[in-house]
């Protein structure tokens, strides 16, 4: 992580450390994403917070998680954004973006019907191993405009989020691989049990009648012994 700027107040630094510990100790990805959103809104005083997750091609948003907009309002808004307008600006240029009026940005083209009005804006990318994973979007700070300290705090939060998200994704992949191995092992065990069951169900050859049918050294010795008795009987 980068060195934290001195403009952050000790209280904010303490809150960031607490949030960071909470994030990196959690291995459920959905829980991590939810905590990131709540922390971003709490640290900056934003009315609304959103986290857009990029698709594999990093060209548009695959998921869009929000805090501050209830389910009824989301239903009225309709389809979630895909990354056009100002939201897409962070996809094309993954650097922090702070605006006093989001509508003044040249790429802004308004909000869909039913969307709450939003004025101030702060966007910060989440980079994992140097590659864009998604973006944090914060709007309508309750006490004025987003300032430099809000931006710095959100950048630090995004760095914590990147670590926590990567940990959670690695854990998910590890668990998925472990489950696959367990399923494969279970299938092998079931096949082995079926083979053993079939072997027990087959009728065994009578070594007295068919000694050569008995495999192994016992069967061979038995067969050789019977041949020897036959030769001795002839000589008598």
Top-confidence residue, 209 or 161? 161
Number of domains in the chain: 2
- Is 138 a member of any domain? yes
To which residue do tokens 């990354």 refer? Answer: 83
Q: What is the model's pTM?
A: 0.70
Q: Are residues 220 and 172 in the same domain?
A: no
- Is 23 a member of any domain? yes
Let me know: does 124 contact 155? Beta carbons within 8 Å.
Answer: yes
Alpha helix ranges (H) inside the chain: 10-24, 29-44, 71-77, 85-92, 148-201, 217-235
Top-confidence residue, 183 or 138? 138
- Is 3 a member of any domain? no
Q: What are phi and psi of 108, to 5 degrees?
A: -70, 135
Let me know: does 91 contact 60? Beta carbons within 8 Å.
Answer: yes
Q: For residue 7, give the 3-state DSSP assignment.
A: coil
Let me know: does 146 contact 98? Beta carbons within 8 Å.
Answer: yes
Total number of residues shown for the chain: 236
Q: Are residues 136 and 66 in the same domain?
A: yes
Q: What is the pLDDT of residue 4?
A: 46
Average pLDDT score over residue span 206-234: 52
Q: Are residues 135 and 230 in the same domain?
A: no
Beta bridge partners of 124: 136
Q: What is the pLDDT of residue 34?
A: 93
Q: What is the pLDDT of residue 181?
A: 86
pLDDT over 50 at 5, yes or no: no
Residue range(s) defining the domain that contains residue 228 = 203-235
pLDDT over 50 at 139, yes or no: yes
- Is 4 a member of any domain? no
Average pLDDT score over residue span 118-126: 95
pLDDT tens digit sequence for 58-82: 888 899 899 998 888 878 787 777 7
Task: Find the range with the poorest average confidence among 53-67, 154-168, 170-184, 212-226.
Answer: 212-226
């Amino acid at each position: 992580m980068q060195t934290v700027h001195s403009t952050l107040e000790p209280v904010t630094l303490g809150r960031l450390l607490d949030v960071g510990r909470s994030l990196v100790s959690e291995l459920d990805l959905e829980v991590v994403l939810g905590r990131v959103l709540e922390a971003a809104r709490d640290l900056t005083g934003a009315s609304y917070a959103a986290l857009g997750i990029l698709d594999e091609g990093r060209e548009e948003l695959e998921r869009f998680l929000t805090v501050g907009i209830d389910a009824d309002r989301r239903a009225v808004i309709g389809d979630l954004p895909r990354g056009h307008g100002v939201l897409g600006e962070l996809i094309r240029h993954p650097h922090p973006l702070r605006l006093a009026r989001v509508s003044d940005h040249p790429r802004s083209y308004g909000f869909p019907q039913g969307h709450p009005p939003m004025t101030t804006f702060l966007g910060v990318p989440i980079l994992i191993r140097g590659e864009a994973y998604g973006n944090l979007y914060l709007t309508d700070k309750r006490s004025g405009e987003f300032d430099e300290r809000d931006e710095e705090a959100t950048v630090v939060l995004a760095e914590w989020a990147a670590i926590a998200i990567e940990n959670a994704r690695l854990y998910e992949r590890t668990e998925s691989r472990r489950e696959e191995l367990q399923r494969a092992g279970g299938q092998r065990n079931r096949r082995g049990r079926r083979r053993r069951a079939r072997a027990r169900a087959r009728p065994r050859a009578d070594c007295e009648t068919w000694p050569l049918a008995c495999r192994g050294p016992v069967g061979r010795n038995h067969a050789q012994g019977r041949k020897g008795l036959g030769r001795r009987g002839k000589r008598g």
